[in-house]
Amino acid sequence: MAGANKNASPSSLYADLNRHGANGDYERALKVCNRLLHEFPDEEKAFHCKLVCFIQTSKFQEALQAINKSSKFSGNFSFEKAYCQYRLNLPKDSLDTINAAGPLDQKLKELKAQVLYRLEDFETCFDVYRDIIKSNADDYEDERETNLAAVVANLSIEGSKRDLPTLRESSYELVYNAACRLLGTGQLQEAEKKLKQSEKMCRESLVEDGVAEEDIEDEISIVNVQLAFCLQQMGREKEAQVIYNKALKQKPDDIALVAIASNNLATLNREGNLFDSKKRLKSATADGLEHKLTHRQRKAIAINQSLLAALTGQSEQCASLCDKVAKQYPSSREELVLIRATALARDGKVGDAGKLLQNESKQYPKRKLELQLAAVQMHLAEGDRKTACDVLKNMGDSTFCPGVVSALVTLYLANNDRASASSVLKDAVEWYRKNKTGSQSNLSMLWRQAADFHLRGGEPQVAARSLEELLKINPSDMKTLAQLVIAYAQFDPKKAQELSKKLPPVGELSQSTDIDALETSSWIMGTKVMKKVTTKVEASPMTGDLTSKKKKRRKRPGKLPKNYIAGATPDPERWLPRYERSGYKKKKDRRVKEQLKGSQGTAYGASEQFDMSGRVPAAKASPQTHASPDAVPRGYQKKQQQKKKKGKGKW
């Protein structure tokens, strides 16, 4: 037997190799490949089969080492090498290998699309998949379209401006990707419907295939977590929280799913239940997630971890985490500035937090307004209004935003600095007059507030400028025209006279006015009293003159007491209650029993108290006994008992 095996031909060994491969026994097939290469070192086909066996048994590192040592073979093993690099989480090396392979065949195109998806180059990946689908029609068409739908969903989330196609929704995977695309474009209600449809289709298809219930729940949990995120975005946080907890209780094998659900639960906690948030984020930062999550997801989890350190008062740890995140994700530095300021404020350094925000706002022009407003909030929290006003005044063109102008005026008035508030409004009026920017509603409100402020402050000329701008926006506003006439009347009577001609006649204005209600004196006290008076006048049944005098009632003389004596001095106790007067006799309470009286007017049992012959001498009295003056003596009780027994005839 040993000699026969030693002299085996290549055809018999290939037959064994084919049999083991058909049975899926790649370990034995690998041994056959090694034997073939040992006996026939130039067998390139055997080497290729050996690489396939390495890949099927997930020995990707061994496969790469074998490819690097295979310089004697002339064959091209670019696909196997690129696939092993892809599975070893080396997507950049894999892409370099594919690009160096020359003209790409079908297998390399498919692999390139997968590698580009891992590298999150969705624009190029979309072009590759579209080319593959156009040039091929086989049994894998549904899988390719599903992958293309995932690429389209990611492009929608990133806000791509290219024209994206509308794909079929024949499977639950395609419906799921369509829902993700709707989420990326902000169509939350439509996305919710698609996700529920995908869940239903997934359950039905897996039940038909005879899949176990546990595997069905694992597959559906991916759809459910995405549905929970959709509900969270819609503000239905309690429903989302229930779905997240249910998915985590099933303990799914997908660590990426656990990380996403845990991170989203931590965001729902906000500043409450920080201990639970810390536990959740620990699950979201487990090992091996760097290749399972997208760049956007990893960045969100890292920022939340830094924010949690700030909220728990760990300022040093927060600073180190912020530095680490800033190196890994440079685009997140603007958000990390806010987190550092939060950590300083929690540590009691509110002033330092405001200065940090104010200094960092100069480096990030895109979020300059947000950082400056956060600095203002920090200064106001410390009670430093002056610094807050200085920051608001030095914000460039953003200073003239209606909200900033309103905040400045409010702060200056709180400091009793009316002159500064007036100058802020003047500058805002002049700026908008020159630049002609902003919506009409915001500008109308600004002009109106500025005009009212300057009219009350005795500055009619400045108020007239604001009112003129208001008239340009709405020329038919008679209220504004009337205010403008009043303003001009204080410094330019001729101009006021000219503008007053544009006002409607008094007769037109008085047509809808109730003169009788105006003439009543009660209008001074308010509109409620006016309504009461007018309703009484309308409900009066009189048909004569409304101004006729009412009949006066005849006053009756006051009543006097029966025993009244004119000129007599009144009783000094006349205002006291009856029970407090000196002559008042109390009635006996029948519920209280009267105390029986003995002989000589003494109370029953009091004779012994006043009988000095029966007393014990003071020298022999026990100092530890203190008899109550109301208590009946014990000796008297014994005598009474003896008398009763004697009366019964027992002695």
Judge contact between 358 and 393, C-beta under 8 A: no
For every residue of 282-336, which 3-state class applies, written as one string? HHHCCCCHHHCCCHHHHHHHHHHHHHHHHHCCCHHHHHHHHHHHHHHCHHHHHHH
19, part of any domain: yes
The listed range with the strongest mean pLDDT (68-72, 306-310, 467-471, 579-583) is: 306-310
Split at pLDDT 50, 70, 90, the class of 552 is low
Say if 614 falls within a structural domain.
no
Question: What does the pLDDT read at residue 543?
Answer: 44
Q: Are 304 and 344 in contact (CB under 8 A)?
A: no
**Stated length of the chain:** 651
Model confidence pLDDT, tens digit, residues 231-249: 999 999 999 999 999 999 9
Cβ contact 445:436 at 8 Å:
no
- Centre a 10 Å sphere on the Cβ of residue 174 and count the other Cβ atoms it contains: 20
- pLDDT, tens digit, for every residue of 455-491? 777 778 777 877 777 777 777 777 777 777 888 788 8
For 400, which DSSP code?
G
Q: How far apart are CA 442 and CA 402, in angstroms?
A: 7
CA distance 281 to 266: 7
Distance CA 226, CA 240 (A): 10
Residue 378 in any domain: the answer is no
441: its two tokens: 């509603």
- What gap in Å lies between CA 222 and CA 226, rounded to an integer? 6
Neighbours of 76 (CB within 10 A): 11
Lowest-confidence range among 81-90, 149-158, 330-339, 415-424? 415-424
- CA-nearest of 428, 419, 434, 423 to 448 is 428
pLDDT of 644 strictly over 50: no
Q: What percentage of the chain carries pLDDT values higher than 70?
A: 79
User: Has residue 345 got a pLDDT over 70?
Assistant: yes
> Among the listed ranges 53-57, 152-156, 232-236, 419-423, which one has the minimum average pLDDT value?
419-423
Give yes or no for residue 533 having a pLDDT over 60: no
Q: Please tell me the total count of domains within the chain.
A: 2
What integer is the mean pLDDT of 565-570? 78
Q: How far apart are CA 585 and CA 339, in angstroms?
A: 84
Q: What percent of the chain has pLDDT over 90?
A: 27
> What is the pLDDT, as a whole number, of residue 549?
52
pLDDT at 437 > cutoff 80: no
pLDDT of residue 240: 94
In terms of phi and psi (left: phi > 0; alpha: psi -120 to 50; beta: otherwise), the region of 288 is left
Residue 88: inside a domain: yes
User: 435 by DSSP, 3-state: which?
Assistant: helix
Per mean pLDDT, which range of 47-56, 71-80, 125-134, 277-286 is the poorest? 71-80
* pLDDT value for 635: 40
Give the angle 360-361-363 at the CA atoms, nearest 5°.
70
Give the structural domain span for 8: 2-145
Q: CB burial class (10 A; 0-12, 13-18, 19+) of residue 53?
A: buried
Residue 467 lies in a domain: yes
Expressed in angstroms, the distance from the first to the final Cα of the chain is 137
Helix orientation angle between 60-68 and 44-56, rounded to the nearest 10 degrees: 160
Let me know if residue 320 belongs to a domain: no
Bridge partners of 597?
603
Question: Is the separation of the CB atoms in 183 and 157 below 8 Å?
Answer: yes
Query: Residue 73 and residue 455: Cα distance in Å, rounded?
Result: 94
Q: CB of 424 within 8 A of CB of 406?
A: no
- Greater model confidence, 600 or 213: 213
Show Cβ contacts of residue 386 under 8 Å, excluding neighbours closer than 6 positions.
415
**Residues 257, 238: Cα–Cα separation, whole Å:** 19
**Residue 265: inside a domain, yes or no?**
no
Confidence band (pLDDT; 50, 70, 90) for 506? low
Q: For 175-192, what is each residue's pLDDT tens digit?
A: 999 999 999 889 999 999
Please give the pLDDT value at position 459: 76
CB 115 within 8 A of CB 91: yes
Q: Are the C-beta atoms of 197 and 175 separated by less than 8 Å?
A: yes
Instruction: Give the pLDDT band (50/70/90) at residue 443.
Output: low
pLDDT band, very low/low/confident/very high, at 645 (cuts 50, 70, 90): very low
Q: Which of 85, 110, 145 is the last residue of a domain?
A: 145
More confident residue, 433 or 390: 390
Res. 408 pLDDT band, cuts 50 70 90: confident
Which residue has tokens 């985490």?
321
pLDDT of 275 strictly over 80: yes
Whole-number pLDDT of residue 158: 87
Alpha carbons within 13 A on the beta-carbon side of 207: 7
The Cα–Cα gap between 491 and 494 comes to 9
- In this prediction, residues 105-124 reach a mean pLDDT of 92
Query: pLDDT at residue 438 above 80?
Result: no
Structure confidence at residue 353 as a pLDDT band (50, 70, 90): confident
pLDDT at 411 over 60: yes
Report the C-alpha gap between 372 and 361 in whole angstroms. Answer: 6
Of the three residues 487, 505, 523, the one that is the final residue of a domain is 505
d(CA 198, CA 188): 15
| More confidently predicted of 230 and 542 | 230
Looking at residue 567, its pLDDT comes to 77
The DSSP result for 411-430, as a single string, is HHHHTT-HHHHHHHHHHHHH
Is the per-residue pLDDT at 621 higher than 60? no
Q: How high does pLDDT run on average in the chain? A: 79
Distance of alpha carbon 279 from alpha carbon 292, whole angstroms: 20
Q: Does residue 535 have a pLDDT over 70? A: no
Using the predicted structure, report yes or no on whether residue 323 has a pLDDT greater than 80.
yes
Kindly write down the DSSP assignment for every residue of 596-647, as one continuous string.
PB-GGGPBTT-HHHH-GGGPPPGGGS-TT----TTSPPHHHHHHHHHHHHHH
Domain end (from 123, 145, 167): 145
Residue 637 confidence class, pLDDT cut points 50, 70, 90: very low
Range with top average pLDDT, 130-144, 506-520, 543-557: 130-144
- Average confidence (pLDDT) over 183-205: 93
76 within domain boundaries: yes
**What number is the average pLDDT over the span 529-536?**
52
Q: Between residues 126 and 518, which one has the greater pLDDT? A: 126
| pLDDT tier at 7, thresholds 50, 70, 90 | low
Res. 333 pLDDT band, cuts 50 70 90: confident
Please state the rounded mean pLDDT for residues 195-202.
94
Q: How confident is the model at residue 289 (pLDDT cuts 50, 70, 90)?
A: confident
Please give the Cα distance from 307 to 284 (Å, whole number).
14
What is the C-alpha separation between 4 and 8, in angstroms, rounded? Answer: 6
**What is the domain-level CATH number for residue 482?**
1.25.40.10
- Confidence (pLDDT) at 627: 39
Q: Tell me which residue of 377, 387, 310, 316 sits closest to 350, measured CA to CA.
A: 377
Residue 54 contacts by C-beta under 8 Å, 6 or more apart in sequence? Answer: 30, 60, 62, 63, 66, 84
Work out the angle at residue 417's Cα, subtended by the Cα atoms of residues 416 and 422, and round it to the nearest 5 degrees: 130
Amino acid at 551: K
